[in-house]
């Protein structure tokens, strides 16, 4: 079959894989190739066991893989043979040198730019899919302009999918944002990308802007989302002091249509690979431009998030007679949110480490994240075990700390669990998903987040 467009994506991760699978699924006349430097990852995309767990993704990949979706390690060939190139390589926080712990580490991004320059034999549209500091496209242009034979047009097309709901987010996005230079060639490239999304996204949801607004909007969206969580978590601390109930407060506040009800669930804090890194990047940018007050404002979102995680540990310590030494604590959930096996920046990592520091023994259960949990805690001193079955995991434990809002935890038989646990048995519900009154009636001491505890003392 002759394909209408040939598209390449560099970076076969949580963004590159699902995004390209959706384009391939919606556009059978396009040929999509996804390349990566990691051969294991590519082999997994080509196998029955995909490298990431994401509801609905299997179906998309099964329908397209080998037909119009291809995963490969041939980066050179990919660049040579495709004229539309998405780049979705990772952009983690820098861990060394200037800006360590704050700025985005752009080494993967720059290496990709240089490879595109080296292997291109024809003109290309290069699309920033990764989340990048504002003005990265300028650096990209400066690298790619070092040739006379071909030309490059850079677009910014940030990705807004959330893990666990990536497939529905991609299928039915709130908006698609495309930033370009406002030159004739920039606007033409922008149209080419609009055409791709128009295959399934209604035109009123495809918005365009200048390239810097597009780069900045992505980071700001994440900062606003994270800010809501830190806001509600800060108030959860006040609720615990005043006998107010955070669920009731969120409902009352969220019913104001100007505020809205989403993203107001108090928790153990936000995790995931992006919120913290993107806010720190925003903070770094503001400081770079001398906007210290603005930087401090956004930095406080991350500080409250750390405070909330530490507060969870201190609440456990206080409730369990100020010592956790040799107590067995079961962690229900390790992924940073439900419906994903991803544990990057999961609050569970911090909580597990802190419990081990307090010399507790921990048992970790999670339906999809045990492999990553093992890797995250490799080499950490202390007694840790990993048990798939939540009933077995809780046996002989003094407490359960519910860290991820997996649906299966709502429907467990807590009577059966209580019988097998050491007494007094406690539940710390870091997500407020359990029926607290029922757990209390069974015999548990129950410590929700941002609500009065229910104890038998």
Which residues are known catalytic residues?
274
CB of 68 to ligand UGA, least distance (A): 25
The C-alpha atoms of residue 417 and residue 408 are separated, in whole angstroms, by: 14
Are the beta carbons of 226 and 270 closer than 8 angstroms? Answer: yes
Q: Which x/- pattern over 236-275 shows residues binding ligand NAD (rule: CB under 6 A)?
A: -------------------------------------xx-
Instruction: Tell me if 42 sits within 8 A of 69, measured CB to CB.
Output: no
Q: Which of ligand NAD, ligand UGA, none does 336 bind, CB closer than 5 to 8 A by kind?
A: ligand UGA
Instruction: By CB under 6 A, tell whether 264 contacts ligand UGA.
Output: yes
- Residues in CB range of 258: below 8 A, 6 or more apart: none
Among 272, 333, 430, 448, which residue sits at the site for ligand UGA (rule: CB under 6 A)? 272
Q: What are phi and psi of 398, to 5 degrees?
A: -85, -25
Site for ligand NAD contains 130 (CB under 6 A): yes
**Interaction residues for ligand NAD, span 1-60 (CB under 6 A):** 10-16, 35-38, 41
Q: For residue 65, give the DSSP letter.
A: B
Q: Which C-beta is closer to ligand NAD: that of 225 or that of 421?
A: 225
Span interacting with ligand UGA, options 186-194, 261-269, 351-359, 441-449, rule CB under 6 A: 261-269
Distance CA 287, CA 301 (A): 16
Instruction: Report what 264 binds from ligand NAD, ligand UGA, none; CB cut-off 5-8 Å by kind.
Output: ligand UGA
Contact set for ligand UGA, span 131-160 (CB under 6 A): 131, 159-160
Tokens of 456: 């038998």
Give me the residue whose beta carbon is nearest to ligand NAD: 13
**First-to-last C-alpha distance (Å) of the chain:** 73
Choose the one of ligand UGA, ligand NAD, none that binds residue 11, judging by a C-beta under 5 to 8 angstroms depending on kind. ligand NAD
**Does 225 engage in binding with ligand UGA (CB under 6 A)?**
yes
Residues in contact with ligand NAD, counted by CB under 6 A, come to a total of 27
Q: Which stretch binds ligand UGA (CB under 6 A): 161-169, 190-198, 283-291, 412-420?
A: 161-169
Check residue 73 and report its DSSP letter: S
Angle between the N-to-C axes of helices 57-64 and 16-26, in degrees from 0 to 180, rounded to the nearest 10 = 60
Distance (Å, whole) CA 380 – CA 429: 25
Contact characters 73-102, ligand NAD, x per CB under 6 A: --x------------xxxx-----------
Instruction: Please state whether the peptide bond connecting residue 424 to the residue before it is cis, i.e. omega within 30 degrees of 0.
Output: yes
d(C-alpha 302, C-alpha 311), whole Å: 14
- Name the residue among 209, 211, 208 with its Cα closest to residue 198: 208
> What is the number of residues in the chain?
457
Residues that bind ligand NAD (CB under 6 A): 10-16, 35-38, 41, 75, 88-91, 108, 111-112, 130-131, 159, 161, 163, 273-274
């Amino acid at each position: 079959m002759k394909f209408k467009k040939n598209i390449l994506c560099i970076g076969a991760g949580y963004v590159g894989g699902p995004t390209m699978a959706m384009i391939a699924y919606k556009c059978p006349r396009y040929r999509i190739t996804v390349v990566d430097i990691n051969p294991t990852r590519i082999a997994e995309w080509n196998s029955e066991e995909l490298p990431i767990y994401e509801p609905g993704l299997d179906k998309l990949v099964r329908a397209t893989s080998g037909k119009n979706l291809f995963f490969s390690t041939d980066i050179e060939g990919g660049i040579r043979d495709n004229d539309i190139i998405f780049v979705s390589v990772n952009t983690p926080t820098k861990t060394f040198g200037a800006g360590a712990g704050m700025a985005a580490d752009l080494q993967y991004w720059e290496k990709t730019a240089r490879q595109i320059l080296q292997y291109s034999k024809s003109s290309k549209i290069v699309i920033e899919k990764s989340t990048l500091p504002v003005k990265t496209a300028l650096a990209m242009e400066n690298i790619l302009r070092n040739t006379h034979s071909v030309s490059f047009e850079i677009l910014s097309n940030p990705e807004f999918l959330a893990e666990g709901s990536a497939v529905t987010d991609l299928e039915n996005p709130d908006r698609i944002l495309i930033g370009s230079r406002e030159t004739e060639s920039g606007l033409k490239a922008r149209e080419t990308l609009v055409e791709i999304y128009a295959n399934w996204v209604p035109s009123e949801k495809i918005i365009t802007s200048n390239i810097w607004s597009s780069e900045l909007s992505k980071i700001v969206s994440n900062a606003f989302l994270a800010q809501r969580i830190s806001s509600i978590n800060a108030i959860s601390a006040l609720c615990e002091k005043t006998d107010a109930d955070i669920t009731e407060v969120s409902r009352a506040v969220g019913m104001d249509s100007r505020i809205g009800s989403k993203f107001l669930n108090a928790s153990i804090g936000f995790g995931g690979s992006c919120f913290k890194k993107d806010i720190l990047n925003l903070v770094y940018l503001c400081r770079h431009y001398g906007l210290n007050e603005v930087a401090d404002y956004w930095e406080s979102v991350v500080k409250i998030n750390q405070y909330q995680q530490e507060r969870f540990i201190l609440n456990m310590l206080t409730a369990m007679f100020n010592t956790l030494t040799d107590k067995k604590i079961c962690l229900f959930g390790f992924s940073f949110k439900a419906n994903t096996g991803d544990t990057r920046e999961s609050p569970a990592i911090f909580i597990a480490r802190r419990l081990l520091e307090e010399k507790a023994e921990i048992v970790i259960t999670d339906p999809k994240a045990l492999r990553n949990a093992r890797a995250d805690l490799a080499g950490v001193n202390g007694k840790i075990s990993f048990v798939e079955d939540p009933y077995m995991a809780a046996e002989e434990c003094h407490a359960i700390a519910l860290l991820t809002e997996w649906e299966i935890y709502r429907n467990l038989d807590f009577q059966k669990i209580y019988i097998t646990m050491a007494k007094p048995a406690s539940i710390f519900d870091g997500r407020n998903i359990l029926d607290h009154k029922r757990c209390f009636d069974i015999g548990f001491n129950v410590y929700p987040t941002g609500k009065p505890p229910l104890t038998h003392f």
